[in-house]
Structure 1
Amino acid sequence: MNVNKKTKVKIARYYYHEGFTQTKIAEKLSIPRQTVNKIVKNLVDDGIVRIEIIEGPYFNTELENKLEKKYKLKQVILVDYDDPEEINNLLGKKGANFFESLLNSNTKVGLSWGNTLSSFASNLTKKNYKDVTVVQLVGGSNNLDNSIKADEITRITAEKIGGNSCLLYAPSHVQNKKTKEAFLSEENIENVFNEMNDCDMAVVGIGEMSENATLFKGKYLSKGHYEELLAADCVGDICSRYFDSEGKIVNHPINNTVIGIDIEKLKDIPVVIGIAGGENKHKAISGALKGNFLDILITTTDVAKKLVGEEV
């Protein structure tokens, strides 16, 4: 049945503006319902209806989509901020909400450490999931505030979601490879590493390379190691694994003295969520993305714009 353009426009108006069903439109215009159905399906292709997505000023779905495509990420979630002091809390809240939307019973989750992960843990809703284990992915340090230590973040997260915590009773950095091997030979440490390798999901922070970074302030790095890493184009770390601007692990002895998950083992975890943001983290996040360390990124809009080459 041939239908002229004016009738198609009427059908469009009845269907989209008036909310008529296709059956009602067919009765009103005395044409078969199958014809109405076919016309409705082709209204966009025929140039009669234009679909426009109206998004609020803070949704940023277009920018998220650009970043997902550029770095082949499963998902990007962006956060806007006014005050840089708010960044960690805003990212932690967003990360906690997203994590809870993914979390199911019978799940093993790995966690790193840092200010953003501390906020993530504190913003989780208290719930009880069945058979959930939270695994510490990197050793600890006595030079950090308790709230940002890996073991504390692991413990709090497990408590919040009603899971069991699997703690790594070892320092994150040791003096030499021999000391590291001694720790790794301990049965309880070996068991934790087996749990790491069995994780279904990981939530990690991304550290920057600067004298203001927690890495340096917490004395994870000596002044000498810090300067050597900078000279090797190191831009950041994930789980105390140091990488350069192209996402390659830096060839430095310190990477051989870290007690924590290996970066390739981290990449084997099915879902790795990275949470970090703020202009100072741009280079570190860029390196992490180039290294394909992440599946999902939760970051700030200013960083996302830089990553896709837009002006901030």
Structure 2
Amino acid sequence: MRNILEIEKQLLPDLMDILKKRYTILHQIMLSDVVGRRTLAASLNMTERVLRAETDLLKAQGLIEIENVGMRISEAGSILLEQLEPIVKDLFGLSNLEEKIRKVYGLRKVVVVPGDSESSPLAKRELGRAGAKALLSVMSNDRIVAVTGGSTLAEVAEQLTPPSNVSLKGSWFVPARGGLGESLEIQANTIVSTMAKHVGAQYRLLHVPDLLSEDAYQSLVQDPNILEMINMIRGAQIIIHGIGDAMEMARRRKLDSETVRELQEEGALSESYGYYFNEQGVVVHRMLTLGLRLEDIKNAEVVIGIAGGKSKAKAIQSVLRFGHEHILVTDEAAAIDIVKNI
């Protein structure tokens, strides 16, 4: 029996266009919390007159609320968006992208959100929301979750909400490695504390730099408190991490010119959890860090990679070829490029 959605696409193409448009409007309002008509029209590249007609209809259906400060989604609207998600994924072609990537790289699950998170703050927020949902789907009350830093993981932390069906009081969030000396908001320690507070779990912090000299490393591992923390990190059952461009991460880590040259010669494309990977997913360089080691990643029950943006496609593929990811959360822009290069 042919898929009902495919039949509707052929017989009622105008209806599909209307569904796409209204879903997009409702979805953007949800991501914005509260948004004015003019701002929303500009972000959707739509005239205010056309948008007004659509939002008046959505209000009449009880899906949004319109106040002096702007529009916000109603509870009924949130429920409808949740119900529409699988249908809309088919409609936008996202399910097809998810399945192709999942099969090629042998992943348990792939989630692709609409848009390009590099150019759209709302797409970045949706990427964070999808990452939060993926993390909660694999959590239980006795897990240790190791978390890396970065702006995408910070967005995941902001989107986490307490699960309704299970208590996470016995779970722990820990940073996967030390700090990079960047903005406090995107440091692993900050993200860990935010995640734990949002879901009612516990957390521990690691107050050491990510990049260590051999002497500093040997000194720190002698400290009983540091050693206890390292063992906790390396025993994490769940790892959630970002994926960075190799040269961008080398710059952020302020690596010396000789190391940067070596990375370029080795064909380093991506960086995750302190390791640099080439196009084939082979580790070409590792940082001396107190955090996760490759064996810890290989032994973890669930590894969730989250990254988006067209420019990240090759970096994402390189980490997928490493072969130890279980769940990938990405965006449409990256997914399209990944599928092109499969």
Q: Is the 8 A contact 1:169 1:189 kept in 2?
A: no
Aligned to 1:11: none
Q: How far apart are the structure 2 equivalents of 1:82 and 1:194?
A: 37
Aligned to 1:183: 220
Structure with a larger share of its residues in helix: 2
The CA deviation string for residues 223-249 of structure 1, in whole angstroms up to 9 with x for no partner, is 442232122111111112111111111
The one of 185, 190, 194 equivalent to 1:156 is 194
Structure 1 vs Structure 2 CA RMSD: 2.1
SS in 2 for 1:308: helix
The one of 211, 216, 219 equivalent to 1:173 is 211
**Displacement after TM superposition at 1:67 (Å):** 0.9
Q: How far apart are the structure 2 equivalents of 1:69 and 1:148?
A: 32
Alignment of 1:125-274 (within 5 A): 125-126=161-162, 129-142=168-181, 144-175=182-213, 177-210=214-247, 213=248, 215-250=249-284, 252=285, 255-274=286-305
Q: How far apart are the structure 2 equivalents of 1:256 and 1:76?
A: 28
Point out the structure with max Rg over C-alpha. 1
SS in 1 for 2:173: strand
Structure 1 residue ranges without an equivalent (≥5): 1-49
**Displacement after TM superposition at 1:167 (Å):** 1.6
Q: How far apart are the structure 2 equivalents of 1:205 and 1:287?
A: 13
Call closer, same or farther: CA 1:108–1:306 in 2, change over 3 Å.
same
Q: Is the 8 A contact 2:237 2:302 kept in 1?
A: yes
Q: Is the 8 A contact 2:246 2:276 kept in 1?
A: no
**Displacement after TM superposition at 1:53 (Å):** 5.5
Q: Is the 8 A contact 1:135 1:165 kept in 2?
A: yes
Q: Is the 8 A contact 1:241 1:258 kept in 2?
A: no
Call closer, same or farther: CA 1:151–1:209 in 2, change over 3 Å.
same
Which portions of structure 1, spanning 4 or more consecutive aligned residues, are displaced by more than 3 angstroms? 216-220
Q: How far apart are the structure 2 equivalents of 1:152 and 1:248?
A: 30
Q: Is the 8 A contact 2:274 2:287 kept in 1?
A: no
**Quick check: 1:85 aligned with 2:133?**
no
Aligned residues: 254
Structure 2 residue ranges without an equivalent (≥5): 6-86
**Displacement after TM superposition at 1:159 (Å):** 1.2
Aligned to 1:109: 145
SS in 2 for 1:131: coil
Q: How far apart are the structure 2 equivalents of 1:290 and 1:82?
A: 23
